[in-house]
A and B are shown apart, each in its own frame.
Chain A
Amino acid sequence: MNLTQFFSQHSSEILQATLEHVWLVGATMLLAVAIGVPLGIVVARKPWLSKPILGSANVAETIPSLALLGFLLPLPWLGDRADRLTITALTLYALLPIIRNTAAGIAGVDPAVREAARGMGMTSRQILFQVELPLSISTILAGVRVATVLTIGIATIAAAVGAGGLGEFIFRGLAMVNNQLILAGAIPAAILALGADAVLSVMERTLRPAR
């Protein structure tokens, strides 16, 4: 049986796994942006907090993903459901690029623009939402793009704790020494990653302020 036949025979399972995968990644990214962007703003505005925040995010990044899932498993609420556990672990990985790019984007705003904004009587909040964030949006999106691609890859590990997703095929294929099964997980994951990268790149370019 060749690969094409295999894919068409198992298309509904593959689709199912892909949707699970997209759910895990989507939920992770929403959470990571909701946490990472505010943290990035804090890093840019409060230099004394930048070391502890970036340091913690860096440490999270260095923990091997399987080990991280293992660490989180015994925790009371998190360990109850596999997807909860997975999304938490994935979010920890996705944070660093988002925090770092948000901080870099804000730090990269022309000081003359910020000086003028203050001089015009804009409040600190107005400067953030009307000047700093709009001007750093493409840098922030670049961070989101890197984090998304990273997350799509790491999310395949989720199958190890039973959260489903495309990793199911990969783990099964590894156990059964079946390359077609492995590819049934790996190819859709690669396509997802390329697709996310392309879409976010386009957004990045359209939203970049002209200069």
Chain B
Amino acid sequence: MSGLTTSALNAEAIIEFRGAGYRLPDGQQLLSNISFIVQRGETLVLLGRSGAGKTTALRLINRLVDPTEGEVLIEGRRTLDWDAVALRRHVGYVIQETGLFPHYTVEKNIALVPRLAGWPDLQIRTRVQDLLGLVGLDPQVFLKRYPHELSGGQRQRVGVARALAVNPPILLMDEPFGALDPLTRAEIRAEFQELQRQLQKTIVMVTHDTSEALLLGSRIALMEAGDLKGIYSPREFLHSNEPVAAAYSEQLRKLEDFERRQ
């Protein structure tokens, strides 16, 4: 019931956290009383230092963990009411270490979710080729390669292609560019912006990199020690008086000053 009214009132809210928290069985509180809404088509960046609860918040969305307090709604329905497997196929997931299956070729890795979903072979093959093209990898060259035969950047591209395979409306990205060298990272970020412009996915991305957050996020959710400090547009973030946000933008300003002095 409440699910219905929510979606009627707030048609554009695709993800909603309502006082959601997560405590480990040993009592350690990783996330407390978080509430926010993600609009369809936006990129929300969860920014914060390691241990701030960003990844836990992300894992609440695809039910890799269930909230111990409050609730999380996906398309107006509580995650607990979703079948976990169905929900995860509805939500693409990209992680830093990529988690590509080392015993699968690039083709099989990307085909994983369509295969689980029972797509016909021919459709899967076409889809895999299209996706490789989309992330800028030549299918002729890469289809039959194994993950260990790829560079870090190529692996991350395959990870993105795999997450997009069944065209999920939501994409979760946990420090997707964190393990890459700075040049590759900049390259892939730019490609990713272009991709996002084309695909218009709802994205929740975790990062501890301020410039990445400002560059890719339509809004930035600042997290610290399991709390949500606030949600800002990139512009608001840069001018915020909130101490943690100010500390982040201070860091950025120092970097800019350094460049100016050169």
Query: Footprint of B on A, CB under 8 Å?
Result: 110, 112-123, 126, 131, 134-135, 209-211
Closest to B83 in A: A121
B102 and A121 form a contact (CB under 8 A)? no
A110 and B88 form a contact (CB under 8 A)? no
Closest to B62 in A: A119
Query: Footprint of A on B, CB under 8 Å?
Result: 62, 64, 84-89, 93, 95-103, 112-113, 116, 146, 148, 159, 162, 172
A122 and B116 form a contact (CB under 8 A)? yes
Q: How far is the CA of A110 from the CA of B96 in the complex (A)?
A: 13
B85 and A115 form a contact (CB under 8 A)? no
* A117 proximity list for chain B (CB < 8 A): 99, 101
B148 and A120 form a contact (CB under 8 A)? no
B88 and A112 form a contact (CB under 8 A)? no
Complex A-B: 13 CB contacts under 8 Å: A113-B102, A115-B95, A116-B95, A116-B99, A119-B88, A119-B93, A119-B172, A120-B93, A121-B87, A121-B89, A121-B113, A122-B85, A210-B148
Q: A113-B102, A211-B102 are in contact. Are A120 and B162 (CB under 8 A)?
A: yes
Q: How far is the CA of A115 from the CA of B98 in the complex (A)?
A: 10
Q: How far is the CB of B139 from chain A (nearest CB, A)?
A: 21
Q: How far is the CA of A123 from the CA of B83 in the complex (A)?
A: 11
Q: How far is the CA of A118 from the CA of B148 in the complex (A)?
A: 21
* B88 proximity list for chain A (CB < 8 A): 118-121
Q: A115-B95, A210-B148 are in contact. Are A120 and B89 (CB under 8 A)?
A: yes
Q: How far is the CA of A112 from the CA of B101 in the complex (A)?
A: 9
* B97 proximity list for chain A (CB < 8 A): 110, 112
B112 and A120 form a contact (CB under 8 A)? yes
B95 and A121 form a contact (CB under 8 A)? no
* A122 proximity list for chain B (CB < 8 A): 85, 112, 116
A209 and B95 form a contact (CB under 8 A)? no
* A135 proximity list for chain B (CB < 8 A): 101-103
Q: A118-B88, A210-B102 are in contact. Are A112 and B95 (CB under 8 A)?
A: yes
Q: A116-B93, A118-B64, A126-B116 are in contact. Are A210 and B99 (CB under 8 A)?
A: no
* B172 proximity list for chain A (CB < 8 A): 119
A210 and B116 form a contact (CB under 8 A)? no
* A123 proximity list for chain B (CB < 8 A): 85
Q: A131-B101, A135-B102, A210-B102 are in contact. Are A119 and B95 (CB under 8 A)?
A: yes
Q: A121-B85, A209-B103 are in contact. Are A116 and B98 (CB under 8 A)?
A: yes
By CB atoms of chain A within 10 A, which of B89, B103, B159 has the most?
B103
Q: How far is the CA of A46 from the CA of B17 in the complex (A)?
A: 32
Closest to B149 in A: A210
Q: A118-B88, A121-B85 are in contact. Are A113 and B99 (CB under 8 A)?
A: yes
Q: How far is the CB of B55 from chain A (nearest CB, A)?
A: 10
